Structure 1
Amino acid sequence: MLDQVHLPPLAQDFLAYLSLEKRYSPHTVQSYSLDLSQFFQYIQEQYGGIALDSVKAAHVQSWLALGLEGRKKAEDAHKRAQPPASAVTIRRKMSALKSFFKYALRKGAVKQSPMARVTGPKLPGRLPVFVDEHVMEKVETNQAGDDIPLFSDDFAGATRRMILRLLYHAGIRRAELTGLRDGSIDFSNGQMKVLGKGNKERIIPLGTAVLKELREYIAWRDAEFPGYAGGALLLTAHGKPVQAWDVYRTVRKALAQVTTLKKRSPHVLRHTFATHLMNNGADINAVKELLGHASLASTQVYTHNTIEKLRRVHEQAHPRG
Structure 2
Amino acid sequence: MAANDTARLLMELETMASTLVSDADVVKLKLRFEEVANNYTVNRRTVEEMENDFAEKIDYYLNALRLEGYSEQTLYGNRLDLNKFSQYVNKAVVQVNTADVRSYLASRPDWSNGTVAKKLSTLKAFYKWMVAEEFVLRDPTAKIRTPKQEKRLPKAMSQNELEMIRDACENSKERALVEVFYSTGCRISELAGMTKASIDWRNGSLSVIGKGNKERVVYLNGKAIFYLKKYLEDRAEEEDDCEYLFATTLRPYRKMSNAAIRKIINKVASRVETSKKVTPHVFRHSMATIAIDNGIELGDLQQLLGHSNPSTTLRYVIVSEERKKNAHKRYVQ
Q: What TM-score, normalized to structure 1?
A: 0.54
Q: How does 1:143-222 map to 2 (within 5 A)?
A: 150-152=168-170, 157-222=171-236
In 2: Cα distance, 1:247 partner to 1:289 partner: 24
Among candidates 145, 150, 158, match of residue 132 of structure 1 = 158
Q: Deviation digits for residues 43-92 of structure 1, max 9, x if unmatched?
A: xxxxxxxxxxxxxxxxxxxxxxxxxxxxxxxxxxxxxxxxxxxx96xx99
Partner of 1:81: none
Q: Which residue does 1:235 correspond to in 2?
A: 247
Unaligned runs of 5+ in 2: 1-86, 91-99, 107-111, 121-137, 327-333
Question: CA separation in 1, counterparts of 2:141 and 2:222?
Answer: 56
| Aligned-partner SS, 1:300 | helix
C-alpha root-mean-square deviation of aligned residues, in Å?
3.8
Deviation at 1:309, TM superposition (A): 5.6
Tell whether the 8 Å contact from 1:130 to 1:275 is kept in structure 2 after alignment.
yes
Aligned-partner Cα distance in 2 for 1:264–1:207: 21
Cα offset, 1:287, TM superposition: 0.7
1:290 to partner: Cα distance = 0.5
The answer as to whether partners of 2:172 and 2:230 remain within 8 angstroms in 1 is no
Looking at structure 2, the residues matched to 307 and 183 of structure 1 have their Cα atoms a distance apart, in angstroms, of 38
Among 271, 292, 299, the alignment partner of 1:278 is: 292
Q: CA deviation at 1:216?
A: 2.3
Change beyond 3 A, Cα 1:310–1:113:
same
Distance change (3 Å), C-alpha of 1:119 and 1:307? farther
CA distance in 1, matches of 2:210, 2:241: 24
Aligned to 2:37: none
Structure 1: unaligned runs, 5 residues or longer: 1-20, 36-86, 96-111, 143-149, 315-321
Q: Which residue does the alignment assign to 1:3? A: none
The Cα offsets for residues 205-246 of structure 1, whole Å up to 9 and x where unpaired, read as: 222332122222222211122xx3341122233143322111
The answer to whether the Cα contact below 8 Å between 1:159 and 1:236 also exists between their aligned partners in 2 is no
Please give the secondary structure, in 2, of the residue aligned with 1:278. Answer: helix
Assess, with a 3 A threshold, how the Cα gap between structure 1 residues 223 and 274 changes in structure 2: closer, same or farther. same
**One-letter amino acid of the structure 1 residue matched with residue 272 of structure 2:** V
Q: Distance in 2 between matches of 1:186 and 1:194?
A: 12
- Fraction of identical pairs, as percent: 28
Aligned residues: 205
- In 2, the alpha carbon distance for the partners of 1:22 and 1:210 equals 48
251 and 114 in structure 1: CA distance in 2 versus 1, 3 angstrom threshold: closer
Which residue does 2:149 correspond to in 1? 123
Distance 2:139 2:232 in 1: 61
- The partner residue of 2:261 within 243, 247, 253 is 247
Q: Aligned letter for 2:241?
A: A
Structure 1 residue corresponding to 2:281, chosen from 245, 248, 267:
267
Tell me if the contact between 2:172 and 2:227 (Cα under 8 Å) persists in the aligned partners: no
What's the TM-score once normalised by structure 2's chain length? 0.52
Deviation at 1:273, TM superposition (A): 1.0
